[in-house]
Amino acid sequence: MKKILIANRGEIVSRIIKTARKMGLQTVAVCSEADKENMFVRQADEHYILGPAPSSESYLNVGRILEVIDQSKADAVHPGYGFLSENADFCRALEERGVTFIGPGVNSMKAMGDKIESKRLAKKAGVNTIPGFDGVIENADHAVEIARQVGYPVMVKASAGGGGKGMRVAYNDQEAREAYETCSNEGRAYFKDDRLFIEKFIEKPRHIEIQVLLDKHGNAVWLNERECSVQRRNQKVIEEAPSTFVDPAMRRAMGEQAVMLAKAVDYYSVGTVEFVVGADKGFYFLEMNTRLQVEHPITEMITGLDLVEQMIRVARGERLSITQEDVKLRGWAMECRIYAENPYRNFMPSTGRLVYYRPPHEDARIRVDSGVFEGGEVSMFYDPMICKLITWGRNREESMFHMEYALDEFLIRGPDHNIDLLNTIIRHPHFISGDITTAFISEVFPDGFHGAEPTEDGTKAFAVAAGVIMLAESAMYQELASIQDLVVTVDREELQLTIERKRGHLLVSFGHEDPVVVTHEYQVGTGLATLVIQHQACTFRVRRLDEGHLLSHGGRTVTAVARTPRHHALARHMLRKKPPDTSRFVLSPMPGAVLKVLVGVGQTVIAGQVLCVLEAMKMENILRSEHDGKRVKEIMVKAGSKVEADQVLIEFE
């Protein structure tokens, strides 16, 4: 093996290139027209353009990828994850060409890639499985019939699904019908397979998975577990290793069952056996991913292994260099997936140019896996993940501490992002205590995400930051000899404070309260301000507005305006522009493509009625009416229309 073609895009390509180069191997990147300027393309030794932006014409175009393999004379292919990573036909085509597939064999991939067949095999191998129906679901009526037999709630899944696609929970007959339609559509669109199965949905479930590693000589190890319960729409958001819920006996039992299943299908390479775990610590087989996982870095951090390197070595026919006794738990690791989406607007996907992209400094405790760069584009055609932020500590508390610091220091401007959400989650009491399930996000934010809950101390910290930044950005700071009174508005709350410069630091007081000592590191234009308030360090992301600043820290973003008392008094008389009235319109919440329009001109709609379905970043998004009794005046789009964010789709009378 001398040259590896990486049949994927984004951060995983950058990751594989790094390992391949360390092993003395050449790399070939492939890309779509939309990705030709991206970082991962620049990093490879060679690159080839596959075709237009849509995945079906580029990253899923097997014929074109095979042409590139022949042109580049690559003798191995690493599929990364997603796209063709679990496509047995692609793997077979490589074998016929004498090209090494860096992953499992065709037969084990086919056996585990079909969720219906894999469940049967798991049950036969003695692995715990969830009650359900793994036959053919004929239509929506049949889905309802099966759901009733299994007992609500049920999980409806596309047989070939993965990555959160083609999966819905149904609590009643209507939801079962909707889930049948949506999951079969997503299965057909993304995996070219609309078969479904239905199983019992475990209440208060955790999603815990076991990483396995096997060679072609019968040697196998399990590399501990990953806790992946913090999810949204079945898409993982935060992962950690190990799990706070798993004890040594449970870890061993899960690991042994995972290896038992892998051996039953003659599996080799890395793979992940996923389990759903109930509150009673009962665990049940969910699926096996016959590929590298997005969250593989946290396993690498706690074991010291490079899983990409292990995949390459196994593909070359080497024996494992470790035994189960060699696998230890080394500290604690966490991973946050940073997505281009707006959690404040129901997690709508976001696209556009990365005007500002500055990750935190990497070291032994902080790692950033990224395939993007400042000035690059986040496209509507692919998954919205910008990068992965991974931290390590000697224990969970230390790992969380580093994650808080790293999130506060991560600067992204251009597309919206979910850093506030991630920051809020890792500081939430339930997460800190380890009291989490796969419903964590919906339970903690039942009315949607609105930022971290304001606290008195937090608001004061924002006020101090706003005051210090205002003074640092003005000549006033240089002239400040003794005392400066300020009025700071944090969102709608007004705080009066006094700042005194004294012997290289600042003394800040609110009213008659005792002053606190503040030191700071802030340079205009850096986008970051680090304050030490009474020995407590706080880093704020800073963005200048027409007046004041947008400040972010700890999962909360506020508009903060610091003024002298006179300027504050005058500001009260300034007129405020009213936002336009858009109540008569249905606006597109994101860039995307219209899949269906389900209402007509002249039709009267009711609250909750489905108006249209949009596709963006590999997901179907259903737009429903928020009002009762409105009559449709005009429809501006049709199925197949490409739309931008905030574009008018439907107008009511």
Query: In the annotation, is 287 catalytic?
Result: yes
pLDDT band for 480, please (50, 70, 90 cuts).
low
Q: Supply the DSSP string of 302-341, one letter for each residue.
A: HH---HHHHHHHHHTTPPPS--GGG----SEEEEEEEESE
Q: Are 243 and 225 in contact (CB under 8 A)?
A: yes
* Interval 501-523: pLDDT, tens: 887 788 999 988 888 898 888 87
Q: Are 385 and 337 in contact (CB under 8 A)?
A: yes
Residue written as token pair 């390509």: 13
For the chain, which domains are there? 3-102 (3.40.50.20), 104-129+207-330 (3.30.470.20), 131-200 (3.30.1490.20), 331-453 (3.30.470.20), 456-571 (3.30.700.30), 585-652 (2.40.50.100)
| Alpha-carbon gap, residue 590 to 644, rounded angstroms | 6
pLDDT at 477: 55
Computed over its alpha carbons, how large is the radius of gyration of the chain? 27
pLDDT at 203: 81
pLDDT at 289: 94
The single-letter code of the amino acid at 167 is M
pTM of the shown model: 0.83
Query: Within 13 A of 98's CA, how many CA atoms are on the CB side?
Result: 3
The answer, yes or no, to whether residue 382 has pLDDT greater than 60, is yes
Mean pLDDT (the chain, rounded):
92
* Interval 550-577: pLDDT, tens: 999 999 999 999 999 999 999 888 877 7
413 CB burial (10 A radius; 0-12, 13-18, 19+): middle
* Interval 234-276: pLDDT, tens: 889 999 999 999 999 999 999 999 999 999 999 999 999 999 9
| Alpha-carbon gap, residue 357 to 375, rounded angstroms | 8
* Interval 392-446: pLDDT, tens: 999 999 999 999 999 999 999 999 999 999 999 999 999 999 999 999 999 999 9
Which residue out of 175, 287, 341, 615 is catalytically annotated?
287
- DSSP run (H or E) holding 183: helix 173-191
Work out the average pLDDT over 370-395: 92
